[in-house]
Amino acid sequence: MAVLRSLAAVGAVPGLWWGAARAAAGLWGRCPRRGYAADPAQSPPTFGFLLDIDGVLVRGHRVIPAALEAFRRLVNSHGQLRVPVVFVTNAGNILQQSKAQELSALLGFKVEPDQVILSHSPMKLFSQYHSKRMLVSGQGPLVENARALGFENVVTVDELRMAFPVLDMVDLQRRPKTTPLLRNDFPAIEGVLLLGEPVRWETSLQLIMDVLLSNGNPGTGLATAPYPHLPVLASNMDLLWMAEAKMPRFGHGTFLLCLETIYQKMTGKELRYEGLMGKPSVLTYQYAEDLIRQQAERRGWAAPIRTLYAIGDNPMSDVYGANLFHKYLQMAKRDGAEEQGAGGLWKQRPSATQSCASILVCTGVYSPKGTEPTQPAQGVEEAPFHGHRDFSFSPGLMEASHIVNDVNEAVQLVFHKEGWVL
């Protein structure tokens, strides 16, 4: 986490963005209309795409029409991608295989599971916790996801509630009618996995707090809460996300904010994370970069991938994350430092990637007219910072390299810059 904080604290640095840099006020301006003539010059790809999903390709369960147009350009006549593409989403309440199938059906071409990065995918690297007994919070195929990540011994919030029914007292209908016998045969919990927003927030908040305050023995009580507390791994820091509703919906970042606030209020100390994954984490972009490289190698594209284009709809997660990763690449290149992340967990071959450009679209969270609560209107005071507590506010990192209407215009923009046929 120190790596992320130090990078985020750097803020806007000359040369962080290439091309025509936008003034800060331009971020909140109108999405430009662009049109490019096709350039016949084309060569093996030296660039790849990191595509967000919600608000870029789909809104809820509906595909955005521009996404279909974009993939008509990205996929050749044989149904194969012309350039390496990885889908990087902060969603996590679904299996990787299921997300790939869902995207295949929506976009009309075969998406492989290893082209999809869920918010918690980099947890595969945290092998020191894989054998520990972990409480897992979220919804959907929780146990399957945890096991796919390498965690061998997990307990769900529902299983914990059933073992200790007196812990869950908010819903009057679920309160036990009699006082059950206190269990002393329940193995201690050794850590907490937060994979996504749960359905019953009050139950998850209460039981996670019970585990942290009791050092993993929620059936007992401690006179003093242990600190440091049990290890906590979390993914998806998005405060908000965009579905079919006109206004953004609460994301897992909102749940984390609740948990952090409750812990701070009850203990007077800060909730600490052993790992925070999902955009805008540098570790997530390192993970995506490696999948892009592997994809290019499988296709026989010998030229190294030197530029990544990250297309998203959320200035805080997509733009901030891409710019933070770009800054990381520049620092690693300048200092000649070994590329690592998450306390040295990530060790890969020397990176050929030289830059990561952020492209912001206007089909999701970002509103070009300032009508969404996530963005300020022209002449209105600066919007509040919606990023996670552990990522310093740096206005420059939220300034996109380019702003376009939709993902189809983004692909056209990139093809034009790279000299590719549209």
Number of DSSP helices (H) and strands (E) in the chain, helices first: 10, 15
Q: Is the pLDDT of residue 373 over 60?
A: no
Q: What is the pLDDT of residue 235?
A: 97
Mean pLDDT, range 65-92, rounded to an integer = 96
Q: What is the pLDDT of residue 7?
A: 53
Q: What is the pLDDT of residue 42?
A: 59
Please state the φ and ψ torsions of residue 309, each to the nearest 5 degrees.
Answer: -115, 115
Entry field: residues in the chain = 422
Q: What is the pLDDT of residue 11?
A: 35
- Assess contact for 124 and 95: CB atoms under 8 A: no
Per-residue pLDDT tens for 14-62?
Answer: 233 222 223 332 333 456 554 444 334 457 899 999 999 999 999 988 9
Tell how strand 240-241 and strand 249-250 pair up: antiparallel
Mean pLDDT of the chain: 85
- Assess contact for 95 and 144: CB atoms under 8 A: yes
Q: Place 211 in a pLDDT band, splitting at 50, 70 and 90.
A: very high
Q: Is the pLDDT of residue 322 over 70?
A: yes
Q: What is the pLDDT of residue 243?
A: 82
DSSP string, 133-190: EEEEE-SSSHHHHHHHTT--EEEEHHHHHHHSGGG--SSGGGS-SS-PPPP--SPPP-
Per-residue pLDDT tens for 343-366?
Answer: 455 555 567 899 999 999 999 999
Joined tokens for residue 262: 């409750």
Residues 6+ apart with CB under 8 A from 172: none
Give residue for tokens 């209460």.
206
Joined tokens for residue 309: 């284009």
Q: How far apart are CA 194 and CA 116, in angstroms?
A: 19
Q: What is the pLDDT of residue 36?
A: 41
Higher pLDDT, 372 or 67: 67
Q: Place 381 in a pLDDT band, splitting at 50, 70 and 90.
A: low
pTM of the model: 0.84
Closest CA to 281 of 145, 387, 198: 387
Q: Place 218 in a pLDDT band, splitting at 50, 70 and 90.
A: very high
Domains of the chain, CATH where assigned: 47-119+279-336+348-367+384-418 (3.40.50.1000), 123-177+185-276 (3.40.50.1000)
Q: How far apart are CA 162 and CA 325, in angstroms?
A: 43
DSSP string, 306-372: -EEEEEES-IIIIIHHHHHHHHHHHHHHHHT-----TTTT---SPP---EEEEEEESSSS--TTS-S
Q: What is the pLDDT of residue 115?
A: 97
Mean pLDDT, range 216-221, rounded to an integer = 88
